[in-house]
Amino acid sequence: MRPNARRTNLGLAFVVPAALATGALAFATGSAWVRWIAVAHAVAASAIVVLSPWKTAIARRRVRRRRASSALAAVALGVSVVVTVVTGLLHSTGVLRTLGPASAMQLHVASALASVPLFLWHLVARPVRPRRTDVSRRAVLAGAAVGTASVASYGALTFLANELGLRGVERRATGSYEIASLDPGRLPVTQWLDDSPPPSGVQTLTVDSGGAVRRWSLAELSAFDDAVNAVLDCTGGWYSAQEWRGVRLSRLLSPDAEATSVLVRSQTGYTRRFPITDAPHLLLALRVGGRPLSVGHGAPMRIVAPGRRGFWWVKWVASIRTDDVPWWWQPPFPLS
């Protein structure tokens, strides 16, 4: 079939950002919505695959006509998209979850991030300007056909994974695989980007709330014994259920009518800001599975944030502050 270059390119200009957006949203979402966001992510990825034969034909023609300016960036974009789709498939089916030192999920995210500037550059270098005729009857039908084929291939893959008993079907709604639940000795130690365990832990926790600063010693904090069973779900693609013990954050805060958020800072400078309404549900954990936290897992204390992805579970907590800054006034994902 002779490719309709305009429609194929317009389709990709829509589904590639959709795949990126749903992927980022899946990491940011803690509620039950994450299941549907993950499904939308898979369908957007299927659409990229469905459109790829046409896009390949377009690229071939381009090369043949020697209109190969900015070809290197275009090829790099193609490679990054292929790697992203393949690693996404490897992770989600469970066929191959580690590739050398990295997990399929880590490579998936890294190549997706690499594709963002390349994609933007491609749009600038080879713009597709929508025309009126793009919303013709035929175009709408073509769009519907691609949509149907994408949903169908996602459904077929899910069916096949079930039939073949692939490990991918055991995943949680977030897409993560279970590991080391109730066995904290085997819990993986991981950092978001480049943080690392401090050589020695803090001896006190500084709490700045309601206009007063109070320092809590570890002995004082250890006297609390609030227990929370919660799932640590790392965006690296695994989750683990553990029994955490420590003190509910709300117990440490002074009443403050103005406060809208609580800022948690680690000894290493890693921070996350939570809505103040979360304070009763957040645990400052000193123990896991009945034992003090190890250094890797955040000794002497860390945040346990049920329902939030791993990057919210600040380790090596040194200080907590309440103020009236809105909780969303921070990068959606940590930068360190």
For residue 75 the two structure tokens come to: 């090829």
C-alpha dihedral, 135 to 141 to 142 to 147, nearest 10°: 110
Given ligand MTE, Mo ion, none, residue 274, with its beta carbon under 5 to 8 Å by kind, binds none
Given Mo ion, ligand MTE, none, residue 37, with its beta carbon under 5 to 8 Å by kind, binds none
Closest distance to ligand MTE from the beta carbon of 209 (Å): 21
Nearest to 220 by CA among 243, 242, 251, 262: 251
* Interface with Mo ion (CB under 5 A), residue from 23, 253, 310, 319: 310
> Toward ligand MTE, which CB reaches closer, 232 or 276?
232
Given Mo ion, ligand MTE, none, residue 220, with its beta carbon under 5 to 8 Å by kind, binds none
Given Mo ion, ligand MTE, none, residue 178, with its beta carbon under 5 to 8 Å by kind, binds none
* Interface with Mo ion (CB under 5 A), residue from 48, 205, 230, 234: 234
* Residue of this chain nearest to ligand MTE (CB atom): 310
Given Mo ion, ligand MTE, none, residue 191, with its beta carbon under 5 to 8 Å by kind, binds ligand MTE
Given ligand MTE, Mo ion, none, residue 313, with its beta carbon under 5 to 8 Å by kind, binds ligand MTE
Closest distance to Mo ion from the beta carbon of 295 (Å): 17
Given Mo ion, ligand MTE, none, residue 154, with its beta carbon under 5 to 8 Å by kind, binds none
The DSSP letter of residue 185 is G
Closest distance to Mo ion from the beta carbon of 105 (Å): 10
> Toward ligand MTE, which CB reaches closer, 7 or 302?
302
> Toward ligand MTE, which CB reaches closer, 54 or 278?
278
Closest distance to ligand MTE from the beta carbon of 268 (Å): 5
Looking up tokens 């957040």 gives: 282
> Toward Mo ion, which CB reaches closer, 234 or 279?
234
Residue 72 to residue 76: CA distance in whole angstroms? 6
C-alpha to C-alpha distances, 171 to 43, 138, 176, 228, nearest whole angstrom = 17, 39, 5, 23
Closest distance to Mo ion from the beta carbon of 233 (Å): 8
Longest dimension (CA), the chain: 75
> Toward ligand MTE, which CB reaches closer, 52 or 268?
268
Give me the helices (H) in 29-171, please.
34-64, 71-93, 104-125, 137-164
Residue 106 to residue 111: CA distance in whole angstroms? 9
Q: Three-state SS string across 217-245, please?
A: EHHHHHCCCEEEEEEEEECCCEEEEEEEE
Residue 301 to residue 315: CA distance in whole angstroms? 7
C-alpha dihedral, 219 to 225 to 229 to 235, nearest 10°: -20
CA atoms within 13 A on the CB side of 74: 17
> Toward Mo ion, which CB reaches closer, 150 or 235?
235
Binding positions for ligand MTE, rule: CB under 6 A: 187-192, 195, 232, 234, 266, 268, 270, 296-298, 310-311, 313-316
Closest distance to ligand MTE from the beta carbon of 126 (Å): 36
The contact set with Mo ion (CB under 5 A) reads 234-235, 310
